[in-house]
Every structure is written in C-alpha cells, then in structure tokens.
Structure 1
Amino acid sequence: MADVKVQNLAFRAGQTLKVKGKPKSGCSGFAINLGHSENDVALHFNPRFDAHGDLRTIVMNSRQGGAWGSEQRESSFPFQQGEEFKVYITHNNDSFEVKLSDGSVIHFPNRLGDDQFLYMQLEGEVQLVSIHIK
C-alpha cells in the first residue's frame, strides 16, 4: 500500500501536475489528493477497480474541514491493474482539468477556491513512478 505525501508542493493555477504510477495486481483502487492537508482536499481523484460498491469507476470529490462534498462519478476508466498510467491534472483557478491516458478529459470544480495548493497524497495499492509539475 502506497501512502506518499508531499508537503510544500507549490502547485499553482496555470500549472499541470503529471502523476505516473502503477496499480498493483489485485488493486481495488487508489487516490490522488491535492489540497492543503488531509482534511482540506481540493481534488480527490479516486479510480476504483472494485471498491465501495463501484466497479471500474472514477470518483472525484473535495473535502473541507474534514467533511466530504458531493461525489462526481465518471465512466471513462483507462486504468489496468499492473500497468503504468499517466494522469495530467491542470489547475485552472476555478476548476481542475484531468486528462487521462485514453485522451478523455474530466473537469472538476475547485471548491476550495484557492490558486495554490501545497499538499499532494497518493494512497492505495499503487506504486508511484514519478510526479512532475510544469
């Protein structure tokens, strides 16, 4: 189980965060969290192979003061257990644009409204290959 936390990330509006990883065989799901802390997450990106009643579904959400918001579900699911993936997350001030390896793009509102986030977490049954901000 990975639980990688990056503090002082300085992910600003106009930038793109590239996350490359590899879900383990038998992985039920993993998550990329961006925000200020575990309790203040602007973007919770959670591909679920088979978790919490969801099969091959991406669930996105935000968390403020420890309370989750309303979930957004996406049917596009280019992830395969045991195969490397790339996710590009662009911070557009009022929203996040998430580009997946199959070319699909998902938009999620920036509910916290901030133009910079310092915290990133990768959790679940996934191996982190690299992270890069440009």
Structure 2
Amino acid sequence: MIILNSMVDDVFRAEERESFFPFQEGSDDTVCFHFGQDKIIIELSTGNPLSFPVRFPIEVISYLSVVDLQLKSITLK
C-alpha cells in the first residue's frame, strides 16, 4: 500500500491511500515527482502515475519518508 499525506504546522492532514504496491523485492525502480501549481504527479516505473493535490504553497520539502524500502539514491533537478 502507498500512503500519501502532508503536514502543516506539525499536524498531518487526511491520508490518501493507494491499494496497489508496485515494487518487488530485489528490483530497481524509479520514482519521479513533478510539482505543479495544484497537484504533484508521482511517476512510477510501472507506468501507474499517482496524483496528489497541493494543499498549501510548497516552498520547501523538509521531510520525505520511505518505509520498508532500501533507498539507493536521490537525484534533485
């Protein structure tokens, strides 16, 4: 399961949950985040894009959590 959420003033907002989990143990996958005015598009290597609404102006992303996955690298452009 993939859970998407945001935090404002140290309070989490309502979660959005995706029932599928596209990652397989031992496989290499790519996740890309595209930030727009009203939504964030998350592209997965499986071709299943996710969309998450921008709930407040984004100036800085100070926290990103990845649980139960081994993260090898992060590239920012």
Q: TM-score range by the shorter chain?
A: 0.7 to 0.9
Higher relative contact order (CA 8 A, sep 6+): 1
* Equivalent residue for 2:48, pick from 101, 104, 107: 104
Letter of the 1:69 counterpart: R
Match of 2:75 in 1: 132
Percent of aligned pairs sharing the same letter: 32
TM-score, length-scaled by structure 1: 0.50
Letter of the 1:110 counterpart: V
Number of residues of Structure 1 aligned to a counterpart in Structure 2: 77
Match of 1:6 in 2: none
- Contact between 1:89 and 1:98, CA under 8 Å: does it hold in 2? yes
More strand per residue: 1
For the pair 1:95 / 2:39, whether they are aligned, the reply is yes
TM-score, length-scaled by structure 2: 0.79
Letter of the 1:124 counterpart: V
Match of 2:5 in 1: 61
- In structure 1, runs of 5+ residues without a counterpart are 1-56
Q: CA deviation at 1:127?
A: 2.7
